[in-house]
Amino acid sequence: MLKQQMKAAAQSEDYEEAARIRDSLKSFEEEEPVLRLHRLLKEAIADEQFEDAARYRDELKEIAPHSLLKCSSDATTLVC
């Protein structure tokens, strides 16, 4: 929802509002452990830091085992 609001603000050229929403989103993502670990995991993979990536993956499995599942159909009941 925040990403949609940020996009709408940018499209209407309300860059101050878009920046405020971006900062709120970034702050929320840093405070939310699952989102933070997902971001760190993606960054570690992109930087080919595979030992770090494995550690983040393992931490994610511990705190949110379903967060690593991939959705294979629209019938799934998990949020992906």
> How do the pLDDT tens digits run along the chain, 80 residues long?
878 988 898 899 999 999 999 998 888 877 889 989 999 999 999 999 999 999 999 999 998 877 665 555 544 444 44
Q: Which domain range does residue 46 map to?
A: 33-68
pTM greater than 0.85 (yes/no): no
Is position 44 within any domain? yes
Residue at 46 is within a domain: yes
Residue 75 lies in a domain: no
**Same-domain check for residues 39 and 50:** yes
Instruction: Tokens for 45, please give them.
Output: 């993979």
Check: CB of residue 5 under 8 Å from CB of residue 11. no
Same domain, 50 and 25: no
Any domain includes 21: yes
Residue 76 falls inside a structural domain: no
Q: What is the identity of the amino acid at 78?
A: L
**Domain shared by 37 and 63, yes or no:** yes
